Structure 1
């Protein structure tokens, strides 16, 4: 049976969720305060890069099952409302900025009807759902709040929505919670039929799942990067070390890829907000290790600049340096807290002649760092370069022919910031190859 769904907030999370829900057969209205974003989405064009989404968006808009609006009253016909707004880091603080979440709930209270279900998907500090549930109960006592955290990976968001590792529902422990569980299971009927595990729990646990998962991943990444520092000091090889310990089933090889570290709009701000909330709850000592996780991650960027200076015989001033990659990860145009852009900007500020290229993120990167020089192609970026840095592991960069690229540069020297290149192929082609944690 078709359900009528509204999605409040049509940024990265909301646009993907709305299109996928429509593709699952539901009637969906996406609502956002940004009229230009609404216009683009209504035309079947997402305002950001995400593989598979443009085709899915155009298809679902064409069927009429998916519509977009900047008027919250258009959500009144829906019986299930998903809150999918952003929760960025507060300026000058570690805390999450919840103004968009609060605004979304306040707007929904004007249109929510008896028996409606409001579902939070945004990543929020624990305790937020309980507060929003009180707001909802005061406005409409028969409506229910559930928390259904998202686990999307940029570059794989469509797949992760259709085939998630798990579904989590945070609901009240009463009849309203049972009804909320039943409604959500109708929303995700096809996903559950495919065998996706379902965890039904309380509000607190549901809110903690996403930040706990991100904190664990961040810790694993920073752990192997700390080992890279030790490998550099001892002559070890961090890739071989990761391969060796990754065979231990208790550890696993995933996310043991040493390099420039993590960035983007989730992991950095989520672990900082997690620490801030723990402090408010009086259990900040439980998460003090995350401070070092964050510190190790940021040190990788400084170390990459130092390594560039070493390779350039002690100085990068006036050196022509090519940077391959601006997005924080491949298959994305997201430059929020991008390690690649951070390194490029640091080298430029220290006097290097830096040229940056990226397959998808140039426009966003140029808006963030207008003083950097950006070009469209690898050939333009590396022309006459004295050093090349691979900082985002796009497939087209990893598969470059070192012999061909050598013809374009002034000096064949490359720093592999992601330990993604074939070391022997590049060295055999006459390149000086260096990477974090490698001999």
Structure 2
């Protein structure tokens, strides 16, 4: 076997495409595998099928190097690869809060019959603890090479909008392995990354499976904690932004993820904490993570409270009112609208009879596909034209940079709900705007956002 293993990446969605492209740029021979021929054709022709800064340029570079190819053939993948990364999605099941493992199981059962020599299969997908042990047994039973095929787990920690950096310069690597050989294969498969002195935690399969959901649950808790404080601030007239700033000076707490506002969404945090709580209940330790149910509840309430603020600014009724919704993606620098708080708020206002006009710098196409009932604008100012209320729902920098006076010139009424605490209240109030944000007094003239 060559010192530098040949890699396959099963699944070319957000995680898989990023991993395949970055690994090829780092010098590995990589084969991307997917059952979706449309995805394979797009990637093969140099098109990234989602929005991620820096990735299209790297895809061009990787294809030109000749080190990256894509296929729909598992037989080709089995013959090519020394290390196979499984990067398929694990969405929430339609009928419960559990993770849907259909795609993970399909990837393993499709690949295994083509593994006829000693090889390593590495799970990167986020799965319920215990999945790896089951998949390892499945691999051994289906692969011609039997026990010569090993399974390892290497969770991903990509932040959308920063995925290239997080792949090529991660803050840590976690290797869940059952043998020294598997650890050495993984080290070889990450050699250029490890050469940058990236910390590695070598552990067992079940701990490696838990790392991602534990990390996401902690972040979700921190986000929801400050939003719970926002609810208290609303009841007392206190200012949650100032409270968060005061807490952030405590180095035990820190300011990261302590930003009050509309809460979290996307394809990871919401479904991961629900799947984690569901799995804990299956294991008989549901009480230990019972707080995650409340975290989910706090997060959902933020959306309803944002709608309430818009209704307040419309004197109690949004029917027939024009609302400019700035943002559709669940976070800036992404076109991902999965469980997006922004679109949830926009769609709720539409159902209440409002005339909602949405603008997002990257997620318009995805938003239109899922919410064709909403109207869409060509810019933030276009969305704001004749609006009764402007509501900022995704904290894109271009929204932070809006000139309050310029927007005031096009709206019907200068009223804004800052759902992300992204604006400087004093600037907007000075330009004549009525400014509202969750957890902030309605007439607080010295905002320091």
What range is the shorter-chain TM-score in? over 0.9
Which of 157, 163, 171 in structure 1 is aligned with 2:177?
171
- Per-residue displacement from partner, 1:76-95 (whole Å, max 9, x unpaired)? 21111000000000003100
CA distance in 2, matches of 1:376, 1:65: 39
Match of 2:165 in 1: 159
Pairwise CA distance, 1:349: 0.2
Find the aligned partners of 1:390 and 1:294 in 2 and give their Cα distance: 22
Task: Kindly indicate whether the alpha-carbon contact (under 8 Å) linking 2:4 and 2:188 is maintained by their aligned counterparts in 1.
Answer: no
Shift of 1:54: 0.4
Which residue matches 1:144? Answer: 150
Contact 2:11–2:33 (CA<8 Å) still a contact in 1?
yes
Measured against aligned partners, the alpha-carbon deviations of 1:54-84 in whole angstroms (never above 9, x if no partner) come to 0001110111100001111121211110000
**TM-aligned CA deviation for residue 228 of structure 1:** 0.3
Please name the residue that 1:288 is paired with.
290
Distance 1:113 1:400 in 2: 59
1:37 aligned to 2:28?
A: no
Task: Please name the residue that 2:50 is paired with.
Answer: 48
> Residues of 1 paired with 2:366 and 2:340: CA distance?
11
Is the CA contact 1:2–1:25 (under 8 Å) kept in the aligned structure 2? Answer: no
Between the aligned partners of 1:190 and 1:244, the Cα distance in structure 2 is 41
Match of 1:251 in 2: 253
Q: What pairs with 1:313-328 in structure 2 (closer than 5 Å)?
A: 313-328=315-330
SS of equivalent to 1:282:
coil
Alignment match, 1:384: 386
Report the Cα distance in structure 1 between the residues aligned to 2:370 and 2:439, rounded to whole angstroms. Answer: 30
Q: TM-score, normalised by structure 1?
A: 0.98
Q: Which moved more, 1:182-191 or 1:14-23?
A: 182-191
Kindly state the Cα deviation for residue 113 of structure 1 after the two structures are TM-superposed: 2.9
1-structure distance, mates of 2:431, 2:245: 26
What is the aligned residue count?
Answer: 435
**SS in structure 1 at match of 2:84:** strand
Cα drift, residue 114 of structure 1: 2.0
Q: Which consecutive unaligned segments of at least 5 residues does structure 2 have?
A: 442-449
Alignment of 1:357-372 (within 5 A): 357-372=359-374
Which residue, out of 119, 132, 137, partners 2:135? 132
Equivalence map 1:274-353=2 (5 Å): 274-353=276-355
Instruction: Tell whether 2:92 aligns with 1:89.
Output: yes
Q: Which residue of 1 aligns with 2:417?
A: 415
Provide the C-alpha distance between the structure 2 equivalents of 1:127 and 1:387, rounded to a whole number of angstroms: 49
| Structure 1 residue ranges (4+ consecutive) displaced by more than 4 angstroms after TM superposition | none
Distance 1:23 1:292 in 2: 43
Query: Residue deviations 1:180-213, cap 9 Å, x none?
Result: 1111111211211212110000011000000000
Report the equivalent of 1:65: 67
SS of the residue corresponding to residue 235 of structure 2 reads helix
Distance in 1 between residues matched to 2:439 and 2:95, nearest whole Å:
32
Q: Distance in 2 between matches of 1:114 and 1:65?
A: 23
Contact 2:118 2:149 in 1 (8 A): yes
Aligned to 1:424: 426
- Secondary structure of 1:343 counterpart: helix
Q: In the alignment, is the contact (CA less than 8 A) between 2:83 and 2:189 conserved in 1?
A: no
Question: What SS class does the counterpart of residue 328 from structure 2 fall into?
Answer: coil
CA distance in 2, matches of 1:235, 1:251: 24
Alpha-carbon displacement from aligned partner over 1:290-323 (angstroms, at most 9, x marks no partner): 0000000000000011111111111111111000
Query: C-alpha deviations, 1:159-195, integer Å up to 9, x for none?
Result: 10011111000001xxxx2111111111211211212
Q: Following the alignment from structure 1 to structure 2, what is the Cα–Cα distance between the partners of residues 369 and 308?
A: 20
Q: CA deviation at 1:115?
A: 1.3
> 1:13 matched to which residue of 2?
15
Counterpart for residue 240 of structure 1: 242
TM-score, normalising length: structure 2:
0.96
- 2:83 pairs with 65, 80, 83, which one? 80
RMSD of equivalent CA atoms: 0.8
1:201 to 176, 186, 203: 203
Structure 1 residue 107 corresponds to structure 2 residue 113: no
Q: Deviations over 1:395-416 (max 9, x none)?
A: 1011111111111111111100
The answer to whether 1:393 aligns with 2:399 is no
Match of 1:25 in 2: 27
Alpha-carbon distance in structure 2 between the residues aligned to 1:113 and 1:249: 53
Runs of at least 5 residues in structure 1 that lack an aligned partner in the other structure: none
